[in-house]
Amino acid sequence: MSTQDAFDVDPWGVVEHGLDLSGLARAESVFALSNGHIGLRANLDEGEPHGLPGTYLNGVFELRPLPYAESGYGYPESGQSVINVTNGKIIRLLVDDEPFDLRYGVLRSHQRRLDFRDGLLRREAEWTSPAGRTVRVSSARLVSLTQRAIAAVDYTVEAVDGPVRIVLQSELVANEQLPDGERDPRAAAVLEAPLLPEAHEASGTKAVLVNRTRYSGLRVAAGMDHLIEGPDRFEATAESSEQQCRISVTTVLRPGERLRMVKFMAYGWSATRSLPAVRDQVEAALTAARYTGWNGLVAEQKGFLADFWAGSDVEVEGDVELQQAVRFALFHVLQAGARSEERAIPAKGLTGPGYDGHSFWDTETFVLPVLTYCLPAAVDQALRWRHATLPMARERAAQLGLAGAVFPWRTIHGEECSGYWPAGTAAFHIGADIAAAVVRYVHATGDVEFERAWGLELLVETARMWRSLGHHDAVGRFRIEGVTGPDEYSAVADNNVFTNLMAQANLLAAAEAATRHPQEAAGLGVDTEEAAAWRDAAAAMFIPYDENLGVHPQADGFTDHQLWDFERTPADNYPLLLHYPYFDLYRKQVVKQADLVLAMQVRGDAFTDEQKARNFAYYERLTVRDSSLSACTQAVIAAEVGQLDLAYDYTAEAALMDLHDLGGNTGDGLHMASLAGACIAVVAGFGGLRDRQGKLSFRPRLPSGLRRLAFALKVRDALLRVEITHAVTTYTLRRGKVLTVLHDGEALTVESGVPVERPTTAVEAPAERCVQPPGREPARRHAQAGVHAPAPPPVEHLQAE
């Protein structure tokens, strides 16, 4: 089975027929369920066989050593890794004393389906044991989007061809054995059994297990309770130990009879609360879930998702595979942020342990722009988490001799966890990315109270960092030197255009927010002189430009570097960072991921249309896309400069990154930024959405492969729906009274109940399609056939840690 054939194409779900043992890890990520607080990989109910077991709680991590060949000032001393907490998914089945293990006997049928409309993962299987007894097993699993601490499973076994003795063992298991994937034995030793036992109890149908992490000192409680339905006579027993709790149910089923077990799971954790408090929290959540019941939880889930899709669906007509992929992306982005509640949104969400569960700039630059217009409350919570980490960011800035706050390149709790300076600490743009997310959220929601209480301080402290990091040169230009932009193949460079433009916006936003909230700004120590210094730095920001080539160098002098020898680079040598020394990459013209092109997306006001076209063409031939963060950005600008078919190719690559496992690493978790980026590619690329200072503008344009595109945006108190065909674009206000938008530069006033139509501009395709490095072209998209060939493997962030 190829990665493209693994799942059916379905516009509202993902369906897997059969069971590919070699692809278990990939499927466990694709079918993962989460609410931003709890994450359950889609391991089989019985626990085995598995690709990579995983149950995660957002913010629960263990400390581990960061090894260095040579120590250096400012290097972080320890890292943080997400851990596999107590596994409550397991329901083992024994059929006449034989384990229901799909590696043995005869698996007559097996199907799993994830439905985006109700958030349930359903499974149907028929299996004949080695002894010849056949049973049917069906299950449904959810992680509640309405009751944050709760997950549940509805598990049923039916006898088919004769009486069978059935035993169900429902378990909580701490420190379950994981595959050996850790290269550093010191870290492996720390993470092998991170949970220390504190309490365990089981009685009746209920059990609770409480543990504490060894080094990070986090207390984790997991509980389970059950409803059991079956023949008149069955027995249930309960037992517990330090690492395991088990509720066992046994009965005899005649053909056609069923034994049903509904399992409620609850999770809670704290760094400060006592053992009784955390245990009681979990037991209370179980009580509430049992009161709601399985049907009640399903109804709540359907209601939550119905509201979400009613206001946030993206409809793509003409390419059903892309439609599926975009809804898949939206569903998982929703899962990642729905109930994160002042915790980070990791690069893999809670779908796997990739990148140690860390959050990067991916969140603010790719994920939060999507959530801002479909689930703004999640953005509020994500930015409050950043605000909560300000004390650590201030300490980091002081350690580096800077003012304000330096936010970490990668982290879970708030401390810097990147041990590789050029692509870690030197990527100071994370501060401006956070500031941009604050500004976007406030403009989109009108949440003045958030800006006053949390946003202002984030803007002020990041502006202070930029003012101390940069300097005015002899001719008055404000320069920011020795930094790394989004492209990790060009590290520690001077005046990276993306960084400087983002810093410029950050400085101005801080000055303007301080003017709007003078009392709060004064409380932060901001005076008119400091705000004026920010404005001066922004006005004098140096943006390099190569007059000879007529393009912007990615950073000062970049276009003077030697070109990478793409012709002599074997296809097997990509990703380049795994086959060439960094020093060689850093001094050549080769781009890992969109950098200058991303600057044109987020600060399009700083470039003319002609500059955008020339810049895009120049960097296309240098960009190798060794990162999944690149295709979506290239899609947006390709659409803007008229390369619509190329934009279509890039959009599909971003959207299918995980469904087709294009990078070969979906097994350790989904690529949240690429998933969010696919939504951005569609809405900002083909819809032409830009949000400048709270003013929405659209430049709609569709590639030949699509017939219609429709999407909705939540903007303050309004819900705007945009529908685009090749002939006409229609703006409809579904909620709210009036909203002003721009359509191809024309101001439109959209009133409730009065759709406004305008012609969709026909874009004349450029004479030539932009050229990429040999062998790094995106696969051509053939919509009707649903064909998209695999792309080169990406490596998102440098793996030097």
Long-range contacts of 289-295 (CB under 8 A, 24+ apart): 289/144, 289/147, 289/150, 289/152, 289/225, 289/264, 290/225, 290/227, 290/264, 292/147, 293/227, 294/152, 294/154, 294/227, 294/262
Is the pLDDT at 65 greater than 90? The verdict is: no
Instruction: Find the mean pLDDT for residues 465-475.
Output: 98
Average pLDDT over residues 506-512: 98
Average pLDDT, integer, range 301-327:
97
Give pLDDT tens digits for 191-243: 788 999 999 999 999 999 999 999 999 999 999 999 999 988 899 999 999 99
Which carries the bigger pLDDT value, residue 465 or residue 692?
Answer: 465
pLDDT surpassing 80 at residue 3: no
Q: Which band of pLDDT confidence, cut at 50, 70 and 90, is reported for residue 794?
A: low
- Per the structure block, which two tokens stand in for 797? 């962030």
Query: What confidence score (pLDDT) does residue 614 get?
Result: 97
* pLDDT tens figures, 550-579: 999 999 999 999 999 999 999 999 999 999
C-alpha 522/C-alpha 245 separation (Å) is 55
Could you read off the pLDDT of 726-768 as tens digits, one per residue?
A: 999 999 999 999 999 999 999 999 999 899 999 999 888 887 8
Supply the pLDDT for residue 799.
41
Same fold, 31-309 and 375-544: no
781's tokens? 């998209």
What integer pLDDT is reported at residue 220 of this predicted model? 98
> Which pLDDT score is estimated for 358?
96
Q: Scanning the structure block, which residue is given the tokens 């240098």?
A: 622
pLDDT score of 787:
52
- Residues 105-115: pLDDT tens digits? 999 999 999 99
Q: What mean pLDDT do residues 151-175 have?
A: 97
Flag whether pLDDT at 790 surpasses 60: no
Catalytically active residues, by annotation: 488
pLDDT for 721 beyond 60: yes
Q: Which CATH architecture has domain 31-309?
A: Distorted Sandwich (2.70)
In the three-class reduction of DSSP (H, G, I as helix; E, B as strand; rest coil), residue 209 is classed as strand
Tell me what pLDDT residue 6 has. 82
Q: Are 395 and 701 in contact (CB under 8 A)?
A: no
Q: Which two tokens stand for residue 59?
A: 């913010």
Q: What are the DSSP E strand ranges found in 204-334?
A: 206-213, 219-229, 235-240, 244-253, 258-270, 314-317
Write down the CATH number for the domain with range 375-544.
Answer: 1.50.10.10
pLDDT at residue 181 tops 70: no
Q: Is the per-residue pLDDT at 472 higher than 80?
A: yes
Q: Rounded mean pLDDT of 3-7? A: 73
pLDDT above 90 (res 190): no
Given this model, what pLDDT does residue 245 score? 98
Question: Which of 47-56, 59-68, 210-219 shows the lowest per-residue confidence on average (mean pLDDT)?
Answer: 59-68
Whether the pLDDT of residue 800 is over 80: the answer is no
Across the range 515-541, mean pLDDT stands at 98
DSSP string across 502-558: HHHHHHHHHHHHHHHSHHHHHHTT--HHHHHHHHHHHHTB----BTTTTB--SSTTG
Question: Six-digit token pair at 132?
Answer: 């010849």
Residue 178 has what pLDDT? 82
Lowest mean pLDDT among 135-149, 256-270, 382-396, 414-428: 414-428
Tell me: pLDDT of 798 over 70.
no
Q: What pLDDT score does 341 carry?
A: 87
Mean pLDDT estimate for the chain: 94
CA–CA distance, 395 with 403 (Å, rounded to integer): 10
Q: How many residues does the chain have?
A: 801
Q: Percentages helix, strand, coil for the chain, rounded to the nearest 5?
A: 35, 25, 40
Percent share of the chain, pLDDT over 90 = 89
pTM exceeding the 0.85 threshold for the entire prediction: yes
Name the token pair of 471.
Answer: 């300097």
Residue 744 structure tokens: 């191809």
How many Cβ atoms are within 10 Å of 475's Cβ, its own excluded? 7
pLDDT bin (cut points 50, 70, 90) of residue 1 is very low
pLDDT score at 69: 79
Q: What is the pLDDT of residue 116?
A: 98
pLDDT-derived band of residue 783, with 50, 70 and 90 as boundaries?
A: low
- At 641-688, the pLDDT tens digits run 999 999 999 999 999 999 999 999 999 999 999 999 999 999 999 999
Domain residue spans of the chain: 31-309, 375-544
In the chain, what is the straight-line distance between the N-terminal and C-terminal CA atoms, in Å? Answer: 34
